[in-house]
Structure 1
Amino acid sequence: MTRRSRPILWSIVWLGVAGVCGTVLTLAGSYLYLNPQIPAAQSYLDLRPEAPMRVFTGDGALMAEFGVRRFVPVPLDGVPEDFVNALLDTEDKRFYDHSGIDYISFANDVLQVLMNPSVRTGASTITMQLARNVSFSLEQTFIRKFKEMLLAIKIEQELTKEQILELYINVMFFGKRAYGAQAAALTYYDRPLSELNLAQLAMLAGIVKRPDSGNPISGPDWALNRRNLVLARMLAQGSIDRPAFETARAAPITARLHHREPDLSAPYAAEWVRSELVARYGPDVYNSGYEVHTTIDARLQANANRALRNGLTGYDRRHGYRGPEGRVEDAADLDALVALAQAPDPTDGGAAPAPIPDAEALRDSGPGGEGAVWARALGDLPVVADLWPAAVVRVDERAFEAVTASGARLTVDWDGITWARAYIDVDRRGVRPRAAADVVAPGDIVRVQALDEGGWRLAQVPDIQGAVVALRPESGAVAALVGGYDFWSKQYDHALRAARQPGSGFKPFVYSAALAEGVTPSSIFLDAPLVFEDRHFEKAYRPRNDSGRYNGPTRLREALYRSINLVTMRVLLEVGVDRVLEHAGRFGFDTEGFPRDTQLAIGGGTMAVTPLDMARGYAVIANGGFAVQPHIVKRVVTRDGALVFEPSYPKVRPPEEAAGDGPPPALDGGLTEGAAAPSESLEPPTLAVAPADPAAPRVIDERNVFILHSMLRDVIQRGTGRRARSLERADIAGKTGTTNEAADTWFNGYNDELVASVWVGFSDYRPVGRREYGSTTPLSVWMEFMGAALEGLPEHDRAPPEGVVSVKIDPATGLAAAPDRADAIFEYFFEEAAPDPVARGRAGPVRDVTPEDIF
């Protein structure tokens, strides 16, 4: 060694020593700085991986899932040995030998990161991967890697190898919202882990390397290569033999996406539940794994869905065809469509093709794929309810042929076209079509609907909207709720949020106030014009009846079942606005914004109520006079079944149970004692047994409710709701409602078991048409729903309560009838208000009032 080379050598030595010392000091400093940030490994034994919040009906049907993660835990002894070997042979073959870190691989990682900070490195042990997934981001940095090491050391020191492996198998991400191997098995194969074959287990083991883009759905080619690599490493380690390897490697990809679809379509109800739970617990509830059990009845919900859609599409067809949704305008594309009509149909099996269930798949299935004309024209059009987009390819004299986005072809016969008279306006249609060409042309983008009896019908998405709310009158539990025609196209919930004028549907509450003030069902009011003079108006206000006719002296009962506006106004004037408002508040209405003039009598003016409000009000009539609180959440439990909270609401009790009750409770629903209040923690509280629901308070005299109920029965037996007699039930009652210009139409009805309110109208308050009333579309929807809901259930007659008497009266005078009066009828009265037999033969007083101070 020359004299000149010695200083260079010593410089290299000292630089090496300095580098080692610097590295040691850096590592020591990093340890001292980062170690306090590392949690104790024992805490991960109680780790609660995230899972979606699920919403169920009261009878266990899945309504919805909210959240982005799926988690299904599995104990280590329930994991197939082949899957454990696949993980260890691929990810960490020295798992049982190291103390959490593979130092040789780690040194290589450090060198690569220092030389090129953008490089992505691997070689993490299973323990380090677990540490990263439970605590740190996936960002490739030295600090993250060092923190992984520290936590990996703690994990190895505090947990057994079996605990580490079980935790790893249950928390690793496998793509497609699946966390843990069991969730992955169900997501990709719809079977538990224990039932998968070797090829499928190897596929899952390979996913953890690249879960988002390397799963068999998003990246099938990469996933297949990775699976075969896993199998090769298992063979090399002696975990499988050559025949098993060859068989598994030759197996095709059998993975598909298997998410549990809702058992029932109830998106409006599920959205109500979601908003309540988020308000209580915050957005973390989405991945809490909570199971929310609701009051929804699956059968009734399905009936409500069907009834409303049928009613709205029926209205829409009655008012005419508004034309195609669009056109294929490009000449070349149009020629391609016409040419398609001449080509053999590869999907033709002699019957109309079945609807394709996944709109996302339409672009890629069928002949032509996403480049086909029909796919380009239809691919972005969603399926709305059960109405499918299709492009017309051929028009015959009395039929037309269309193609869906998948390339499936169908034929719409004349019976499915003849309804399509051209829409002119809400009250007028064009002439009936004589040929299919009067309605459609090649290139039209239309909607088609599959018929229950087979075949297809030309359709269109209804412009009209509607809502159905059904609840149990004894408790206020919501049994069914539909807030519009199709949630996925218009998510506005008309059942809960659309405050509209109730029209004549509010009249029963005015009449109930009159009964409370001594008016009887036989009281005579004058049905004649009213004129209101007021200096604030340019001209006098002259309300009228919908029919435009006047009936002269009219009994109160008849005025209700015939829905006579002017009699109801006179009733309001006699009873007084303040008294009616106070009385209506007993039915649960917030009357602060209600009008203080004669519009109150007919549900007009500034009055605005939701279908849920109306159902709540009619529930008081249905249950005999008790106030109940509408609600949808029955209880919330963890995925292990531990009770989180259970709301408590007033419930109508039999007289013998309610006799010893104290003061009536408040109407707002409260939580059971000890239930979780809104907080940052989603840990379930420890609860005692939930107390029984409190007794609902009586708010209306049972005699009043009984007589009002008998009057509302007459609405169906002889009044505006008489079409419902076809249900052949004597225990149903209700009231139609139609506002001025028919912007809102209603039917609210009930029996002792169920209350249902139906609203139909346009979202922008347009009139629905001069021949549309509460007795048309809303009543049709109500009849279809209630007919199915009450099928097979026995009828329950109401007996008059104590203090109600039945007296034979003269229908012309409202007074007690003479013994020889042939047309005498029976009427109910409060015992103290029954007509005096002495007054027989004298004309009863006709109530006519002066509308002073009403405005």
Structure 2
Amino acid sequence: MGVTTRAGRSVRRWMVVVLAIVAASTLGAVAGAVAALVRATPDLEDLRYRPHQTTYIYDRKGRVIRSLYIENRVPVSIDQIPRVMQQAIIAVEDADFEKHRGFDVRGILRALWVDLREGGVVQGGSTITQQLAKIMFLSHERTLTRKLRELFLAIELERRFTKEEILETYLNEIYFGAGAYGVEAAAQTFFGKSIREVTLAEAALLAAIPRSPYYYDPFRYPERALARRNFVLDRMVEEGYISPRAAAEAKAQPLGVVSRNDGRDVSASYFVDYVLQQLYERFPPDEARDRIFGGGLRVYTTLDLDLQRAAEQVAARFPVASTDANGLPQPQLAIVTLDPHTGDILAMVGGRGEGNKFNRAAQATRQPGSAIKPFIWLAAIDRRVATPATVIEDKPLQYTLPDGTDWEPSNYDGRFVGPVTIRTALEHSINMVAIQLLEQVTPGVVISYMKQMGITTLVEPPREPNDRHLALALGGLTRGVTPLEMAAAYGVLANGGILSRPRAILRIEDANGLVLEETQPRQQVVVSDVTAYLVTDMMRGVVQWGTGRSAALPGGRPVAGKTGTTEDYTNAWFVGFTPDLVTAVWVGNDEQRVPMRLPDGTNIGSGRAAQLWRDYMQVAVRNLPPRDFPKPAGIVEGVRIDTKTGLLAPPDCGIPESQTRLEIFAPGTQPTEVSPNCRRSWFQWPDWLRRPFEGLFPPDGSRE
């Protein structure tokens, strides 16, 4: 046995001192690291916060039109998530979730064994709680510090929250690919249904994806997704959640994913953009984007997806004459439908072509051509300047302009028919009559009526003494009009003189269902119901036997409307209405200097617009019972007039029947004078004596 030397004892003392210093330093470093972790720990109450919830835009029947999101997420409570979904995610991600307190050593070892057995990474070692800590509070960097913070946060989460709260948050936070965050958004994205409705096979597929959303994307890689889903089913059997038979039946099911557009074939992109603009106006600028795209709003709109589908399908069939420098088909078009009684926008097509954002239904101010004429007629009727029986001569006109040049307008066909009632002139869109009627009413008065009827794009005409601005009668406007405002203005006629301003949003709710705003129709009486009915009745003739015959609907359904084509064929219109719907159709080239022509050289005019209107509207009114335009009290009916003079044509007064018609009037405006063309002799032969000699004598009983 040796003797310990003084030198040996000295070395040992120094070693103890050094070890003590090292231990103290290590403990200090560990304590410092722990302190740093504690200081860096975020407020774990954030676990209760639901960031970036998806906003949904619905149609008037509660059907989803579009979802808006920064992260597509629809939070659901744990009791809304089927137990089979919870079990599937636990089985594949964290089998001991109910047992551990944040991390699981056995789980890490088991995951390592499974990965070795499968020859790849199929099961991770992190618990659900660790994954949630990383998702909610940490970055994805692969460092020891980040891993230590993850473990510390997982322990804290387990200490502060129940297992149900942790699992609920996890299932609402994890990313499933295809833009879907959380199980509800994932179920809607992949299956077109709520998470409440998923089957065992579908739950297993959802649980399969989060491990690698891109690699197991069922849209891109269905074989990989199928294999992973079946692995999840096997894990559920191993954990005792389901029977082998149930797993086998689920494995026999196809993936069952729907198309990326959730089975819908309606874009409604122009309407959605129109609604978005209004939403931005409703919130402060600094918070609008977060509220709209991340606030989980529920926006209920006026759109009818059935009508929108019909409008988009008809627009897609319209012929393409050329493609412009931007790759957009030309001519372009717009279709907008309103409920004239409420102003609700039921359908809106603002153009066609991929990436085409300019909304021609609401933003394009275009020359209306003869579609402006009903406003002239309305002003004349309402001011009692004219009645439907007023006769104006269709003749050549010439005006001297302020610059000394002469303006000689013409009719579409270059012909003149002489004296004609303004009813017939409207039916056949006779320019010379429109100009003379406008001259009587004055352009300023007509523009004031158009403004009252909802057209805001107008500019007052020049007031030079020699410039009467009579080109207004042919649709010559300084700025033009939009299809949306034309539909609203024509809707005044359909609604008995009441303007219903266009409305797109019915109600806005927050994520909890609290109503933030509920709109009401904005209405105003702008003309009398008698005036509206008289003009509507004249416009029915446009469709029955005038320029709008192409717009007639099957079965003789009552329709009123007006065509419009600009002189250079850059714009073509048909705006028409039934008692229930008003629709404006515009067709035109975006480059307004280029005439619209088909490849064979045929001009595209208002006849094409009327056909487009008819093709769409016969679908739109399919489920609406036919009914006539309501007739207001006081209308004077059954007055037979001479269409050459507008005066009375009593029975048997000798005017050919083809030259007479039964006319309607506002009270007190009907003619009282008999037409000079009604020639009667001083003596009327009895019928029994006159009848055998008919043909020998003129109908009025006198010789010519």
- Report the TM-score range of the alignment, normalised by the length of the smaller protein: 0.7 to 0.9
For structure 1, list consecutive stretches of 5 or more residues without a partner in the other structure: 107-120, 326-383, 385-460, 651-695, 844-855
CA–CA separation in structure 1 for the residues paired with 2:93 and 2:390: 90
In structure 1, what is the equivalent of residue 371 of structure 2? 505
State the distance in 1 between where 2:560 and 2:243 align: 76
Larger Rg: 2
Partner of 1:458: none
1:835 aligns with 2:666: no
Aligned with residue 523 of structure 1, among 374, 383, 390: 390
Greater mean alpha carbon deviation, residues 211-220 or residues 284-293: 211-220
Say if 1:34 and 1:742 are closer, same or farther in 2 by CA, change over 3 A. Answer: same
Would the alpha carbon gap of residues 214 and 528 (structure 1) be closer, same or farther in structure 2, given more than 3 Å must change? same
Report the equivalent of 1:649: 521
Corresponding pairs, count: 632
Residue 679 of structure 2 is aligned to residue 807 of structure 1: no
Which residue is equivalent to 1:543? 409
**Aligned-residue offset at 1:762:** 1.1
SS in structure 2 at match of 1:832: coil
The change in CA–CA distance for 1:797 and 1:28 in structure 2 (over 3 A counts) is closer
Give 1:826's match in structure 2, choosing from 652, 662, 675.
662
- CA distance in structure 2 between the aligned counterparts of 1:726 and 1:219, rounded to whole angstroms: 49
Alignment-derived partner of residue 491 in structure 2: 619
User: Does 2:71 correspond to 1:66?
Assistant: no
Residue aligning to 2:99: 96
Question: Cα gap change, 1:222/1:759 in structure 2, threshold over 3 Å: closer, same or farther?
Answer: closer
Q: Does the CA contact (< 8 Å) of 2:60 and 2:304 recur in 1?
A: yes
CA positional deviation for 1:264? 3.6
The equivalent of 1:34 in structure 2 is 40
Distance 1:89 1:151, change over 3 A: same
Distance of aligned partners of 1:518 and 1:771 in 2 relative to their CA distance in 1, 3 Å threshold? farther
CA displacement at 1:233 relative to structure 2:
7.2
**Residue identity opposite 1:649 in structure 2:** P
Say whether 1:598 aligns with 2:470: yes
Gaps of 5+ in 2: 1-7, 109-122, 463-468, 680-704
In structure 2, how many angstroms separate the alpha carbons of the residues matched to 1:245 and 1:837?
A: 92
Q: Deviation per CA, 1:246-267, whole angstroms, max 9, x where unpaired?
A: 9699989847466523264433
Question: Quick check: 1:554 aligned with 2:420?
Answer: yes
C-alpha deviation, 1:269, in angstroms: 2.4
What pairs with 1:418-567 in structure 2 (closer than 5 Å)?
A: 463-486=330-353, 488=354, 490-520=356-386, 521-536=388-403, 539-567=405-433
Given that residues 205 and 228 in structure 2 are in contact (C-alpha distance below 8 angstroms), is that contact kept between their aligned partners in structure 1?
Answer: yes
2:289 counterpart (283, 289, 295): 283
Post-superposition Cα deviations, 1:516-565, rounded to whole Å, max 9, x if no partner, equal: 3322222232322222323525x322221111122333322222112111
The structure 2 residue matched to 1:777, chosen from 608, 618, 629, is 608
> Aligned partners of 2:306, 2:247: CA distance in 1, in Å?
51
Q: Give the 3 Å change call, closer, same or farther, for CA 223–811 of structure 1 in structure 2.
A: closer
Task: Give the Å deviation of 1:38.
Answer: 1.4
- Decide which moves more: 588-597 or 466-475: 588-597
Shift of 1:19: 2.4
Question: What whole-Å deviation, never above 9, does each CA across 1:259-316 have from its counterpart, x for those lacking one?
Answer: 5232644333233233333443523323444343322223322332233333x22xx4
Deviation at 1:499, TM superposition (A): 1.2
Displacement, 1:5? 7.0
TM-fit CA distance, 1:14: 1.0
Offset at residue 751 of structure 1 (A): 1.7
Alpha-carbon deviation of 1:711?
A: 1.4
Q: Is the 8 A contact 1:805 1:831 kept in 2?
A: no
By how many angstroms is 1:137 displaced?
A: 3.9
- Classify the secondary structure of the residue corresponding to 1:741: coil
Quick check: 1:768 aligned with 2:596? yes
Q: Aligned partners of 1:758 and 1:481: how far apart in 2?
A: 10
Q: Supply the AA of the counterpart residue of 1:623.
A: N
Counterpart secondary structure, 1:618: helix
Per-residue CA deviation, residues 333-357 of structure 1 (Å, 9 max, x unaligned), is xxxxxxxxxxxxxxxxxxxxxxxxx
Offset of residue 699 of structure 1:
0.7
1:716 matches 2:543 = yes
Alignment counterpart, residue 84 of structure 1, candidates 80, 83, 87 = 87
Q: Say whether 1:740 aligns with 2:607.
A: no
Cα deviation code 1:593-646 (max 9, x no counterpart) = 254412211112424111111101100011110111112222234566553432
| Contact 1:172–1:208 (CA under 8 A) maintained in structure 2 | yes
- Map 1:209-288 to 2 at 5 A: 209-215=211-217, 239=240, 254=255, 256=257, 259=260, 260-262=262-264, 264-281=266-283, 282-284=288-290, 285-288=292-295
The 8 Å contact of residues 576 and 583 in structure 2, kept in 1 or not, is answered as: yes
Deviation, 1:234, is 6.9
Q: Secondary structure of the residue that 2:337 maps to in structure 1?
A: strand
Alpha-carbon displacement from aligned partner over 1:825-852 (angstroms, at most 9, x marks no partner): 2333333333232775699xxxxxxxxx
Contact 2:230/2:251 (8 A) holds in 1: no
- Cα gap change, 1:142/1:743 in structure 2, threshold over 3 Å: closer, same or farther? same
Distance 1:835 1:492, change over 3 A: same
Distance 1:34 1:517, change over 3 A: same
Name the residue aligned to 1:376: none
| 1:295 paired to 2:297 | no
Alignment of 1:667-746 (within 5 A): 696-725=523-552, 727-729=554-556, 731-746=558-573
Measured at CA, do residues 771 and 505 of structure 1 come closer, stay the same or move farther in structure 2, by a change above 3 Å? farther
2:626 corresponds to 1:790: no
Single out whichever of 586-595 and 566-575 deviates more from structure 2: 586-595
Following TM superposition, the consecutive aligned residue runs of length 4 or more in structure 1 with deviations greater than 6 angstroms are: 103-106, 219-235, 240-253
Deviation at 1:714, TM superposition (A): 1.7
Judge conservation of contact 2:302–2:345 (CA < 8 Å) in 1: yes
Tell me, in whole angstroms, the C-alpha distance in 1 between the residues paired with 2:571 and 2:452: 24
The secondary structure found in structure 2 opposite 1:831 is coil
Instruction: Answer yes or no: is the 8 Å Cα contact 2:647–2:674 preserved in 1.
Output: no
Deviations 1:376-420 (A, max 9, x none): xxxxxxxx9xxxxxxxxxxxxxxxxxxxxxxxxxxxxxxxxxxxx
Aligned partners of 2:621 and 2:184: how far apart in 1? Answer: 43
Q: 2:27 matched to 1:20?
A: yes
CA deviations on 1:468-503 (whole Å, 9 max, x unpaired) are 1111111111122222244x3533322112210001
- For the 8 Å contact 1:71–1:183, the answer to whether it is kept is yes
Q: Give the distance between the partners of 1:253 and 1:277, measured in 2 at CA.
A: 41
Q: Residues 211 and 825 (structure 1 numbering): CA distance in 2 closer, same or farther, change over 3 Å?
A: closer
Q: Distance in 1 between matches of 2:192 and 2:277?
A: 30
Say yes or no: does 1:179 pair with 2:181.
yes
User: 1:193, CA displacement in angstroms?
Assistant: 7.5
**TM-score between both structures, scaled by the size of structure 1:** 0.65
**Equivalent residues of 2:363, 2:482 under 8 A apart:** yes
Q: Could you tell me whether the CA contact under 8 Å between 1:468 and 1:483 is conserved in 2?
A: yes
Classify the secondary structure of the residue corresponding to 2:311. Answer: helix
- Tell me if structure 2 keeps the 8 A contact 1:295–1:632: yes
2:504 maps to 632
Could you tell me how far 1:507 is from its partner in structure 2?
Answer: 0.7
Task: In structure 2, give the amino acid aligned to 1:75.
Answer: I
Q: Which amino acid aligns with 2:68?
A: F
Aligned pairs (5 A) from 1:375-454? none
Residues 427-462 of structure 1 deviation map (CA, whole Å, 9 limit, x = unaligned) = xxxxxxxxxxxxxxxxxxxxxxxxxxxxxxxxxx95
In terms of mean alpha carbon deviation, does 252-261 or 557-566 score higher? 252-261
